[in-house]
Amino acid sequence: MKVTKVMPIEVVDAIEPLLALWEKRLGYALTVRVPETGPMGFAILENNGHTVGFQTRASMLEDVPAMERHIQGPCVFQYMHVESLAPVLERLEGYTLLAGPRETWYGAKEVFLQDPAGYIVAFSEHPH
């Protein structure tokens, strides 16, 4: 299993109020926003090759309903890009997945898992 990138994703009520801190104070640039207009449901900010993601609770519940009980309060989960999802699935045999394997609208293949400490980890294979 080869991990190519790890991004923390904060699950929040609204993304826009966070931008004053992350963009103006911490120097991150907004590189991805979904949807492109109106209130954001998902965003990625980058600074010097490091990324942080934000997704609203409403967007997360629409995307992965099984996350509902895990995102009631403050929540950060790891979103791990992997070269191939197949070896990940082999290594996760015996664990219960919260979601997936599934293919997203942007072409990624994903699985979501709750680790033994209760944290959420998503593994994602992105098209090249």
Mean predicted confidence (pLDDT) in 17-36: 94
Tell me the pLDDT band of 118, cut-offs 50, 70 and 90.
confident
Mean predicted confidence (pLDDT) in 47-60: 95
Cβ density class 73-111: b for 16+ within 10 Å, e for less: eebebebbbbeebeebbeebeeeebbbbeeeeeeebbbb
What is the count of structural domains for the chain?
1
Work out the mean pLDDT of the chain and round it to a whole number: 92
pTM: 0.86
Tell me the pLDDT band of 73, cut-offs 50, 70 and 90.
confident
Mean predicted confidence (pLDDT) in 69-97: 91
Residue 106: what pLDDT? 85
* Closest CA relative to residue 89, chosen from 104, 78, 100, 77: 100
Which range marks the domain in which residue 117 is found? 3-125
Residue 127: what pLDDT? 83
CATH of the domain at 70: 3.10.180.10
